[in-house]
């Protein structure tokens, strides 16, 4: 499946303790130059869980009532956790929901910099 940076996709996300999986949305954060040449891509977890919201600079809350949130393809307020990344083979992507706006991706860039201590 062809993917692009900023795409919101559905994947079977494996729990960090490896005890199970859950189908959930994720955000493609890998650069398109690599998405077009590699079988794998890098994704950030998207969750609707309120208990995961800690106000960290590595997290971006997507409010679906905003214009950017409405374009995100997400059905309810969700949190992008840039501290929770995974590399997956693109063949494991179940489907594409939508794509984040350039504005949201600029905010994601800041969250990724924080998560990777690149500030």
Helices (H), 1-119: 32-35, 67-71, 102-115
Asked if residue 2 is part of any domain, the answer here is no
DSSP state of 15: P
> CA dihedral defined by 90, 96, 102, 106, rounded to 10 degrees?
-50
83 vs 61: CA distance, rounded Å: 13
Asked if residue 1 is part of any domain, the answer here is no
Q: How many structural domains are present in the chain?
A: 1
Q: Rg of the chain over CA atoms, in angstroms?
A: 13
CATH code at 44?
Answer: 2.30.30.110
- For 58-113, the pLDDT digits (tens) are 999 999 999 999 888 899 999 999 999 999 999 999 999 999 999 999 999 999 99
DSSP run (H or E) holding 28 = strand 21-28
Which residues, including other chains, have CB under 8 Å from residue 117's CB and lie 6 or more apart? Answer: none
Q: What is the pTM of this model?
A: 0.92
């Amino acid at each position: 499946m062809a993917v692009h940076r900023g795409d919101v996709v559905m994947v079977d996300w494996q729990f960090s303790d490896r005890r199970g999986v859950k189908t959930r949305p994720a955000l493609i954060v890998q650069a398109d130059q690599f998405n077009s040449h590699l079988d794998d891509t890098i994704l950030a977890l998207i969750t609707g869980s309120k208990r995961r919201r800690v106000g960290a600079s590595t997290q971006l809350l997507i409010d679906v009532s905003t214009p950017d949130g409405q374009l995100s393809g997400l059905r309810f307020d969700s949190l992008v956790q840039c501290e929770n990344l995974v590399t997956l083979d693109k063949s494991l992507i179940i489907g594409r929901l939508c794509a984040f706006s350039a504005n949201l991706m600029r905010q994601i860039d800041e969250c990724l910099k924080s998560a990777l201590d690149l500030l």
